[in-house]
């Protein structure tokens, strides 16, 4: 699986890249060998809560449609960037599992029609 990490309007961070890479490796089995995971970390305007940022994650499985997730922080419950990354990948994993399960059901249905 290929992982692409891009930083926009913020300085790249090696430790942040490591966290993103570790989270991406957890979903590798859902994407397949030819799958792609694109992550964009975007700095936003600063407000009274501190520096704001957004995480955009796109997963393109080997078979099936791409899945996209957008997380924004800080908020009261997710005030540090690492927790936003974890939350974003958790949501992505759930969506991939749902999509994979639905795709498997469609395949089984098609196969059962062929044999009937």
Convert the pLDDT of each residue in 2-12 to its tens digit.
999 999 988 89
Q: Model's pTM, two decimal places?
A: 0.77
Identify whether the C-beta of residue 93 lies closer than 8 Å to the C-beta of residue 86. no
Length of the chain (residues): 116
CATH of the domain at 100: 3.30.160.100
80 is in which domain, residue-wise? Answer: 2-115
What is the band of 38 on the pLDDT scale with cuts at 50, 70, 90? very high
pLDDT at 78 over 60: no
Structural domain count of the chain? 1
Task: Please name the residues in contact with 39: beta carbons below 8 A apart, sequence gap of 6 or more.
Answer: 3, 4, 5, 6, 20, 24, 55, 56, 57, 58
């Amino acid at each position: 699986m290929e992982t692409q990490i891009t930083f926009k309007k913020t300085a790249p961070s090696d430790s942040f890249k490591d966290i993103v890479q570790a989270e991406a490796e957890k979903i590798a089995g859902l994407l397949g060998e030819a799958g792609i995971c694109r992550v964009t970390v975007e700095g936003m305007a600063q407000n009274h809560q501190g520096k704001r940022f957004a995480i955009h994650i796109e997963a393109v499985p080997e078979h099936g449609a791409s899945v996209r997730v957008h997380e924004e922080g800080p908020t009261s419950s997710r005030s540090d960037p690492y927790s936003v990354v974890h939350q974003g990948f958790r949501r992505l994993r759930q969506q991939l599992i749902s999509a994979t399960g639905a795709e498997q059901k469609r395949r089984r249905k098609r196969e059962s029609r062929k044999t009937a």
